[in-house]
Amino acid sequence: MTLKLTDVVLTYPDGDRTLTALDHVGLAVAPGEFTAVVGPSGSGKSSLLAVAATLIAPASGDVSVAGHDVSTASPATRTRIRRDNIGIVFQQANLLSSLTTLEQLLVMAHLAGRPVRDAAVRARELLHAVGLADKERRRPHELSGGERQRVNIARALMNSPEVLLVDEPTSALDHRRGEQIVSLLADLTKENGLATVMVTHDLAALSAVDTVLAMADGRLTAEVPAISGRAAR
């Protein structure tokens, strides 16, 4: 398994008490598997991604990413794992307003200390894959919401991660563009052998995923019954 969470508990301080955001959560995602986690607002979806992304250390439980045991890793090692092995797509694209599409991607390679020439080749391949080959010189304000989200996704793949974590990618998009983004994520997952987790409260986003899990009150429960069976496709 490329991504594995075992018996993860995450709590936040909440006045005199603690709030349990993740309640003994287990999750395993194989290479090339596109997993969706659905659940209402406040159920713990973003917390789950933050733990998988090594941004927050859980109170207990184990997290393994691309063969690295994150739970026992030092902060410096966690940062390296996040940079080299994990692609993160947040809800808002958070693109840098002064940079072109191509430059948004090159920044990632620069941060990882990779040679600029190789990075430019990789960046153009990715922009082609997300359908933005002809928009590499645009700045964010010259792109539509869906295009910005595509840049966001391409940027997350710049350092060839094994794990892709995606938070509510369709929330700012209309239905059709939302579907296109999810279908793009499905294709990229297969083509790159990614272990992908997408959290969403948008049930319409699920047609292209392999596995659907339900999050409620910090518990990750069985596959959503009404749409089970997709994994067998």
Give the strand pairing for 34-38 and 195-200. Answer: parallel
For ligand ADP, the binding residue among 7, 18, 19, 207 (CB under 6 A) is 19
What's the order of all strands across the beta sheet hosting 163-167?
Answer: 86-89, 163-167, 195-200, 34-38, 211-216, 219-221
Counting contacts by CB under 5 A, is residue 46 touching Mg ion? Answer: yes
Torsion angle of C-alpha atoms 218, 150, 105, 51, degrees rounded to 10: 0
Query: Toward ligand ADP, which CB reaches closer, 14 or 191?
Result: 14
Cβ at position 13, least distance to ligand ADP in Å = 7
Please state the separation of Cα 205 from the chain's center in Å. Answer: 15
Tokens at 229, concatenated:
């069976």
On whether the CB atoms of residues 19 and 12 are closer than 8 A, the answer is: yes
User: Which of positions 37-96 make contact with ligand ADP (CB under 6 A)?
Assistant: 39, 41-47
Which option in Mg ion, ligand ADP, none does residue 21 bind, with CB closer than 5 to 8 A by kind? ligand ADP
Give the binding range for ligand ADP (CB under 6 A) out of 35-43, 96-104, 136-144, 202-210: 35-43
Query: Toward Mg ion, which CB reaches closer, 77 or 91?
Result: 91
Which residues are near ligand ADP by CB under 6 A?
A: 12, 19, 21, 39, 41-47
Which residues are near Mg ion by CB under 5 A?
A: 45-46
